[in-house]
Amino acid sequence: MDQELLKQCESVAKEWATSPVFDANTQNEVKAMLESEDKSALVDSFYQTLEFGTGGLRGIMGAGTNRMNIYTVGAATQGLANYLNKFYAGRDKISVVIGVDCRNNSDVFAQRVADIFAANGIYVYLFEDMRPTPEVSFAIRHLKCQSGVNITASHNPREYNGYKAYWEDGAQVLAPHDKGIIDEVNKVRYEDVKTGGDKKFITIIGEEVDKAYIDAVKTLSIDPAVIERQKDLNIVYTPLHGAGMMMIPRSIRAWGFENVNCVPEQMVKDGNFPTVVSPNPENAEALTLAVNLAKKINADIVMASDPDADRIAMACKDSKGEWNIINGNQTFMIFLYYIIKNRDAKGILSKNDFVVKTIVTTELVKRIADKYQIEMRDCYTGFKWIANEIRLEEGKMKYIGGGEESFGFLAEDFCRDKDSVSACSLLAEICAWAKDQGKTLYDVLMDIYLEYGFSFNKAVNVVRPGKSGADEIKQMMEDFRNNPPKELAGSKVKLIKDYKTLKATCSCGTVEDLKMPETSNVLQFFTEDGSKVSVRPSGTEPKIKFYMEVFDEINNVDEYSSLCEKAEAKCKLILKDLNV
């Protein structure tokens, strides 16, 4: 262990253990770390200050500068309050929305945040209980607030919590406000945080916003008649103990579906997520109880949302009657296929419509958009970038859908973050539309492949926790940059896109500029046979991500399984060539 680093950590920890700024429980937790022979917990808790990034905070809960606690959350809030009071100086009223999910300490953090805003003269609309992340985004716009905070760590493991900051458009903050807020947060000392705010500055909100949100989501239905014909569609839904239970069953029923079966064990608010290994719907294990219920009642569709109810996962029966998880790229494909195809059938599709995907998401969705001459835009990973495209075209073009491979989809523009409430409701309509034709959701997926070609996507996460892990991930990115692969799975790399330098380098030697709003630590390799490989460190978790997409021809549905096996083998070769 680096002894100099250990000394620095011990010095800061001793301040936490003795300063009257910190409560007794916090001091005792720090003292235990100081007294322990194993100093790894001490170093991980104090080797850095939990960084307030462009998306806010996210980290493991506990005492320390590198942990989520009332002090790091408080400093972030004081910095945000300072920025709001400067930017909106002279305004009669500055207001914010505060939302929470089901996680341990979320309510405690939310109360702290509300108190600090109030102490800074900022009006607060605090949700009475947990609500989906997209409803927080909606509420900011609905209540005409200037900012908002959602206390959530999304789909991270149970030991995490987080703090997502939003701007007045309902989207997560972007330039120039992100840098301005970060600068203010970095100036704040723990003793600078104002508390003891006047309660008159805090208003509790609930049903009025809920109804407005549900009513807005219902306007997204493209074909209410098909719902009426298939209103008994057999639906299984699970919120994985999270905020989705508050709105998703209600929304699906508001659309006209009458047979919504919720997984009872997981309709219980619990930040320990006792029925799953991880509350991430990207992992098939998280849907086990839902699929078991679906088998028992012979359901038509299984749908799930993550703890803060912004991501959607789904499962359906294949041609053999076996339940299959639909991955994030396929999810986006199905949504976009239905929206474009049926808007066209209803005569409401326009050349003024546009859709958005992230750079690591399947290229197959562009083929769908291209067929109907609908503009498809690429943006960075994260829904703040999709929201940015919506904002840029507001009043000029109509946004009809956007998504990313990590199970996020947004069908509307009245909310500016991915939305599993509208997605689950729309998914039910898609299943009704399929059933109306004697098809399943799996049949719809196969229809897409047969019409647009076969695509296989695989994502691999390499987890490296702690400081040593962060250093290793940084070195991996440097190595890929300095020594990029010349060949992947037997096919030559013909193009490299480096979003950190905003340069696209062709194997023929030409270099072109990438037109993006800012730089990002992402590398992409494109091969001669059409494969795409993207590499990026996670912005919220201690891991580096590898996204692979390979293509092939498909002539009939019976080839699907063998094509998946062939593509899986190819992805293994790609990873081997990358030394992963």
**233 and 129 part of one domain:** no
The predicted model scores a pTM of: 0.94
Q: What is the CATH number of the domain that holds 495?
A: 3.30.310.50
89 lies in the same domain as 179: yes
Q: Is 127 exposed, middle or buried (0-12, 13-18, 19+ CB in 10 A)?
A: buried
Sign for the CA dihedral angle at 300, 306, 312, 314 comes to negative
The fraction of the chain above a pLDDT of 70, given in percent, is 99
What is the structure's pLDDT at 2?
82
CA angle 143, 148, 149 (to 5 degrees): 140
Tell me which H or E stretch contains 461.
strand 454-463
Nearest to 308 by CA among 275, 335, 336, 281: 281
Q: What is the CATH number of the domain that holds 381?
A: 3.40.120.10
Task: Name the residue among 266, 288, 289, 247 with its Cα closest to residue 130.
Answer: 247
Q: Of the candidates 452, 474, 489, which is a domain's last residue?
A: 452
Report residue 191's pLDDT band, with 50, 70 and 90 as the boundaries: very high
Q: Could you tell me if residue 217 is inside a domain?
A: no
The 3-state secondary structure of 259-304 reads CEEECHHHCCCCCCCCCCCCCCCCCHHHHHHHHHHHHHHCCCEEEE
Residue 540's pLDDT band (cuts 50, 70, 90):
low
9, 27: one domain: yes
Say what the pLDDT of residue 567 is.
97
Residues 470, 384 share a domain: no
| pLDDT per residue as tens digits for the range 465-511 | 877 888 889 999 999 999 999 999 999 999 999 999 999 999 999 99
Q: How many helices (H) and strands (E) does the chain have?
A: 18, 23
Q: What is the domain extent for residue 148? A: 48-205
pLDDT single digits (tens) 212-242: 999 999 999 999 999 999 999 999 999 999 9
Residues 436, 509 within the same domain:
no
Domain boundary among 452, 487, 503: 452
415 and 481 part of one domain: no
Computed from CA positions of residues 390, 362, 165, 247, in that sequence, does the dihedral angle turn out positive or negative? positive
Residues carrying an active site annotation: 154
Is 189 a member of any domain? yes
Pair 323, 396 in one domain: yes
- Omega prior to 274 cis, within 30 of 0: no
Asked if residues 149 and 173 have their Cβ atoms less than 8 Å apart, the reply is no
Angle at 129 between CA 123 and CA 133, to 5 degrees: 80
The total of structural domains in the chain comes to 4
Give pLDDT, residue 1.
Answer: 61
Please provide the average confidence, as pLDDT, over all residues in the chain. 96
Same domain, 14 and 75: no
Task: Please report whether residue 216 resides in a domain.
Answer: no
pLDDT for 88-139, tens place per residue? Answer: 999 999 999 999 999 999 999 999 999 999 999 999 999 999 999 999 999 9
The mean pLDDT of 10-22, rounded to a whole number, is: 96
355 and 266 inside one domain = yes
Total residue length of the chain:
580
Percent of the chain past pLDDT 90, that is, above it, reads 93
Write down the residue that tokens 């309509």 correspond to.
429
Residues in Cβ contact with 481 at an 8 Å cutoff, skipping those fewer than 6 apart? 498, 500, 523
Lookup: tokens for 494: 């013909």
What pLDDT, in 10s, does the model give residues 517-531?
A: 999 999 999 999 999
What is the predicted pLDDT for the residue at 415? 97
